[in-house]
Chains A and B, each alone.
Chain A
Amino acid sequence: KAGVTQTPRYLIKTRGQQVTLSCSPISGHRSVSWYQQTPGQGLQFLFEYFSETQRNKGNFPGRFSGRQFSNSRSEMNVSTLELGDSALYLCASSSSPAQGAGVYGYTFGSGTRLTVV
Chain B
Amino acid sequence: GQQLNQSPQSMFIQEGEDVSMNCTSSSIFNTWLWYKQDPGEGPVLLIALYKAGELTSNGRLTAQFGITRKDSFLNISASIPSDVGIYFCAGQLNAGKSTFGDGTTLTVKP
Contacts and interface: CB of A to CB of B under 8 A. Distances in A.
A2 B94 CA distance: 26
A28 B73 CA distance: 32
A42 B42 contact: no
A56 B1 CA distance: 13
Contacts of B94: 56, 101
Interface string B27-45: 0001101010000111111
A97 B95 contact: yes
A25 interface: no
A110 interface: yes
B99 A45 contact: yes
Contacts of A4: 42
Interface residues of A, number: 32
Q: Which of B31, B35, B44, B97 has the most CB of A within 10 A?
A: B97
A81 interface: no
Nearest to A102: B95
A43 B92 contact: no
B103 interface: yes
Nearest to B88: A43
A109 B41 CA distance: 7
Interface in B43-96: 43-45, 48-50, 88, 90, 92-96
Contact of A103 (B33, B42, B43): B33
Contacts of B49: 103
Interface of B: 1, 30-31, 33, 35, 40-45, 48-50, 88, 90, 92-103
26 contacts: A42-B100, A42-B102, A42-B103, A43-B43, A43-B100, A45-B97, A48-B97, A50-B96, A56-B94, A56-B97, A90-B42, A96-B95, A97-B95, A99-B95, A100-B95, A101-B92, A101-B93, A102-B31, A102-B95, A103-B31, A103-B92, A105-B48, A106-B98, A107-B45, A108-B42, A111-B42
Top 4 closest pairs, chain A to chain B, by CB = A108-B42, A43-B100, A56-B97, A48-B96
